[in-house]
Amino acid sequence: MKSVARWYERCIIEKGKESLLWAFIAFVTSVLVSRLVVLDVEKGRAIFGYLYVKGYHIHHFYYGILLLIISNWLALIRYKRLYRRVFKRIASVMFGGGLGLVVDEFGLLLTMEFGIKGNYWAPQSYYAIGVATFIFLGYLLFLKAD
């Protein structure tokens, strides 16, 4: 356990990549969870169903936009020095999770026409998820943070 803590300190904290790592973990988690929930709903086994408001299906894309807005607001406000690290982590997790929810429905949004149901499983979603993942990993593994 001490070796993991030393690696985390040396490779993540000292290089200024802690926020990015938390955002990446939240991104991957939100994509996987949203895909599993949609799969379960479509097979009729889900604990949670889709949210409808006045007959309109509220996609998780909107939750993602809300998380992105809140995370950016948290990143911009000034907070006490004592809580800076905690707020930075919270904002990072919210950003990664929100980005994952938006990118997950990328193919659906591209294939939807005039309110007609789009294709959630469109390949464009997988391309967008792959591009975002490689950008995260490229920055985490190869680029230096400021």
pTM of the predicted protein model: 0.86
Q: What is the mean pLDDT of the chain?
A: 86
> Could you report the per-residue pLDDT of 31-62, keeping only the tens digit for each?
999 998 888 887 777 677 777 788 877 888 89
> Could you report the per-residue pLDDT of 82-120, keeping only the tens digit for each?
677 888 899 999 999 999 999 999 988 888 877 677 788
Q: For residue 23, what pLDDT is reported?
A: 96
Q: pLDDT at residue 21 above 90?
A: yes
Report which DSSP code applies to 116: B
User: From CA 107, how far away is CA 31, in angstroms rounded?
Assistant: 13
Per-residue pLDDT band for 12 (boundaries 50, 70, 90) equals confident
User: From CA 62, how far away is CA 65, in angstroms rounded?
Assistant: 5
